Copies of this chain bind each other. A is one copy, B any other.
Amino acid sequence: MKIGIVGGTGDIGEGMALRLSTQFDVIVGSREKDKAEATCEFGIETLKKRGQKCSLTGVSNQQVVDGADIVILAIPYKHLIGTLDTLCGFEEKIVISPVNPMEKRDFFTFTPPPEGSAALLIKRLLPPSARICTAFNTIAANRWKLLDEELSYSVPVCGDDDSAKLQVMEIVNRISKLHAFNAGPLATSHLVECLTPLLLNIARYNKMKDVGIQFH
């Protein structure tokens, strides 16, 4: 099983690629293939120094969609439509959205599109056979990158395709100490996406860093 990361050279995608590549075949995409290759070289080097084997290849975003079974859209909300406009071939793919529509005004707030959530916007933009799941929304970029630290967080996963959701949950549960929870159909994704502005506000008003969440 090949996992691809669209926007894999970005802040979140980079740490995600590091953690995933020790468990799965990972292809990292960028608008500029060179940048993706450089990120992967650096990643392979970093993991080698830690004595960890990995499978990590840098390609273009389109090659990620073409080559991966599971495509993670690790792109900021503001670039979501622009990026998806340039890509095709999502038919039958499992597509993971960690995207959170939000803005920083006086405080962080949830700014969903008319569809209600980034996940439902993605559903409208991609072919009907794409199997979209919401996951990884609340894991901070820094936490992905701090490889010495365990990720002891809960990860709510939404989706309408049960077998796709199960596969995504299995991937989540393979990473560090992440624990996947079925959070319901894709239409509930807004409840997950608005966790991140809440966590950012809590970090800000309590002078904390990279606050995460656990359900129990």
Contact = CB atoms under 8 A, between A and B. Distances in A.
Interface in A180-216: 181-185, 187-188, 190-192, 194-195, 197-199, 201-202, 204-206, 211-216
A109 interface: yes
A185 B110 contact: no
Nearest to A158: B201
A106 interface: yes
A156 interface: yes
B182 A205 contact: yes
Copies of this chain in the oligomer: 2
B205 A184 contact: yes
Contacts of A42: none
Which among A192, A199, A205 has the highest number of chain B CB atoms within 10 Å? A205
A191 B205 CA distance: 15
A190 B110 CA distance: 9
Task: State the majority secondary structure of interface residues on A.
Answer: mixed
Interface in A94-125: 106-110
A181 to B, nearest CB: 5
A184 B107 CA distance: 7
A83 B118 CA distance: 37
A198 B183 contact: yes
A110 B184 CA distance: 14
A73 to B, nearest CB: 21
Nearest to A152: B216
Contacts of A216: 152, 211-212, 214
Given A191-B197, A191-B198, A185 B215 contact: no
Interface of A: 106-110, 152, 156, 181-185, 187-188, 190-192, 194-195, 197-199, 201-202, 204-206, 211-216
Given A109-B191, A188-B198, A212-B215, 10 more contacts: A107-B187, A181-B202, A182-B205, A183-B202, A183-B205, A190-B194, A191-B194, A194-B194, A212-B216, A213-B213
